[in-house]
Structure 1
Amino acid sequence: MNRHSGFRVAALAGLVALLLAIGAALRPLLPVDAVAAAPVLTDTEIGFVQDMVAHHSQAIVLVQRLDRGADPSVVALAGQIADTQRTELGMLLGWLRLAGAPVTGTEPMAWMRPRGSHRHAGVDLAHHLSTMPGMATAAELDELASARGGRAEVLFLRLMQRHHYGGIEMAAAADALLDGGEVERAARDMITGQGREAGLLGLLLETPIPHPR
């Protein structure tokens, strides 16, 4: 090794030592959040979003099983509901993807329970925790699929109105349990939007729809 090479090696070694010393000095000043980022969603948010994915999905199924020959006003409202539910469903699935969470939870409505508890405390639902409020049974879905004309319209309106009221209950529960954030804001929007649609469903139920004999 010549004299100039020796100087270069010594200079590089000194620079490396200086950088290591600076890094060690700055490490305690780094915020904790820079080392361990907060989770994208809390457990409660994930549980609510997972259940709402299932809830929204069934609303779309209800629309799909409505008789296409039903009254145009009912069909139009059903299409509007389906569009809204699909838009929100995309948002919900996006959140789960960002959080690295599965689309379905292990137990419906488990997010309503206090941590470590097997019984519900807090917002009161008139349903068992194992059942999402407002959901139609398989038999009801089959009945809607086979119904035609006025029978199909009434059955759809009743099932969707019940479905919306169930969704409002779930969103209100999430609003009560969460403390800010995008998921809580979305829950409040669902309460407003589904409440408005439930009112329209009720008006159609109260107004007899004329059918040609």
Structure 2
Amino acid sequence: MTRTYWAAVTAVVLALLFAAGAVTVAAGNGNEDGGRGGSPASRTPAEDSADAGFARDMSVHHQQAVEMSFIVRDRTKNEEVRRLAYDIANTQANQRGMMLGWLDLWGLPKVSAGEPMAWMTKPGSDGGHGGHGSHGTHEVRDGSLMPGMATRTDLAKLRAADGRQAEILYLRLMTAHHKGGVTMAQGCADRCEVAVERSLAQGMVDAQESEIALMADLLKARGAAPRP
């Protein structure tokens, strides 16, 4: 069995377990408020809720991280970068499976006809705007649908690169990708109502900030720096 096979199996199992937990929280009996101290989450999230919007948009965001990680794995022999790429691909594939599983169990579409990131303009679930501002505006260009996402041109350059050049380009693209992901995950931590989803989002913030620091060190070791 390949590592890719087991990663896929793990993603499915975790998606089912975490999705079930999310539905249990969302379908509380009115005595639970998800830790917010506000109105109880007595039903599954609405289609235009922050919970659904985050699950949809971050699934797309994660898919590109997985794609870039598999590209660089085949473009370099450096074990340190390949290990980082595998860890990112495995983690984000698993998280994507969880979020898509939630949307399935909530009976909500995985693709929205609305604008990406529209959920980020909604007030935080505590009645405020979270404390990180409104990040709902994003210029969609050349395939970059959300903050930090690489463009089609960026991906073409990564596919054409080799060795150290591919490593530097990947680390720069993934650093920007993670920074955008942190913004989105913090938005869910501020706005989402389902406790297990907020917990996942906060975990993304913590893990991706740690990986941003690691990638800065890897770039420095290669005489490079993140994109300004």
- TM-score with structure 2 length normalisation? 0.68
Match of 2:120 in 1: 112
Within 5 A, what are the aligned runs for 1:21-40?
38-40=42-44
Please state how far the C-alpha of 1:77 moved relative to its aligned partner: 0.6
Match in the other structure for 1:186: 200
Please say if residues 51 and 109 of structure 1, whose CA atoms lie closer than 8 Å, have aligned partners that are also in contact: yes
Match of 1:28 in 2: none
Judged with a 3 Å threshold, the aligned counterparts in structure 2 of structure 1 residues 176 and 54 are, in CA distance, closer, same or farther, namely: same
- C-alpha displacement of 1:205: 0.5
34, 49, 52: which is aligned to 1:46?
Answer: 52
**1:180 to partner: Cα distance:** 5.6
Contact 1:175 1:184 in 2 (8 A): yes
Q: Which amino acid aligns with 1:110?
A: A
Cα-Cα RMSD: 2.4
The structure-2 alpha-carbon separation of the partners of 1:63 and 1:40, relative to structure 1 and needing over 3 Å to count, comes to same
Q: Distance in 1 between matches of 2:79 and 2:137?
A: 34
Instruction: Tell me how far apart the structure 2 counterparts of residues 148 and 68 of structure 1 sit (CA, whole Å).
Output: 5
Unmatched tracts of structure 2, length 5 or more = 1-28, 31-40, 124-128, 224-228
Is 1:128 paired with 2:138? yes
For the pair shown, which has the larger CA radius of gyration, 1 or 2?
1
1:168 is displaced (CA, Å) by 0.2
2:152 aligned residue (125, 129, 138): 138
What SS is found at the alignment partner of 1:204? helix
Change (3 A) 1:114 1:69: closer
Deviation at 1:193, TM superposition (A): 1.1
Instruction: Give the alignment's TM-score, normalised by structure 1.
Output: 0.72
Moved more, 123-132 or 76-85: 123-132
Aligned length: 170
**Aligned with 2:53: secondary structure?**
helix
2:100 counterpart of 1:88 = no
Q: Is the 8 A contact 2:75 2:163 kept in 1?
A: no
Structure 2 CA distance, aligned partners of 1:201 and 1:110? 30
Letter in 1 for 2:45: L
Other-structure match for 1:77? 84
**Gap change, CA 1:169 and 1:137, over 3 Å in 2:** same
Distance change >3 Å, CA 152–CA 127, structure 1 → 2: farther
Do the aligned partners of 2:76 and 2:167 also contact (CA within 8 Å) in 1? no
Inter-partner Cα distance in structure 2 for 1:141 and 1:157: 13
Q: Which amino acid aligns with 1:55?
A: H
Structure having the larger proportion of residues in helix: 1
Partner of 2:177: 163
Unpaired runs of 5+ residues, structure 1, are 1-31, 116-120
CA contact (8 A) 1:161 1:198 kept: yes
**43-52 or 193-202, larger mean C-alpha shift:** 193-202
2:105 counterpart of 1:102: no
Q: Partner amino acid for 1:114?
A: K
Hey, which bits of structure 1, 4+ residues long, moved more than 4 A?
Answer: none
